[in-house]
Amino acid sequence: MQKLYAESHILVHLTSDDSFGVTLLEAMKAGLLIISTNLYAIPEMVTDNYNGFLHDPKWWFFSADNTPNPNIWNHRKKTLYNTDIIDHELIDFAVKHIRKLYKNRDLLAKMSNNSLKRSSDEPFSDIYIKQQWENEMISIMKRS
């Protein structure tokens, strides 16, 4: 994967129900700009127009209060899991931004650098994550 990331500039991650894509974080750590869907934890990693571009999904699996959206939850086979439905808006969104970045390499470089910075700062830096695990282990040992 490292070789593939090193040979790439953009990660296109169009999803309808992925809650946290580790692939996104790996790509960011390789300095890739992300084109994805504005779902769940993805906006915690990707800031629209900073280190990537986010598009609203065709269907919101969860409502604003983070409970399953009954219109989707109860009709998953007709919505999320329906392979006959193509989200042309999402495809057009991705193509538009890929073309934009192809024509504007300075913007691509700036946003790629932003992606690398974002993945190197809290809460995604290796040092921060290691410290959180160490704190948790100390807390567990104190309780026993």
Q: What percent of the chain has pLDDT over 70?
A: 99
- Structure-token pair, residue 111: 């946003």
Q: Helix, strand, or coil here: 100?
A: helix
- Residue 115's pLDDT is what? 96
- Residue 56's pLDDT is what? 92
Q: Is the pTM of this model over 0.85?
A: no
Residue 37 half-sphere exposure toward CB, CA atoms < 13 A: 21
Q: Measure the CA–CA gap between 55 and 70, rounded to whole angstroms.
A: 22
pLDDT exceeds 90 at position 33: yes
Which among 85, 82, 89, 28 has a CA at the least distance from the CA of 55? 89
Which among 82, 65, 74, 67 has a CA at the least distance from the CA of 16? 82
Q: What class does CATH assign to 2-143?
A: alpha beta
42-100, pLDDT tens digit by residue?
Answer: 999 999 999 999 999 888 888 778 788 888 889 888 888 888 888 899 999 999 999 99
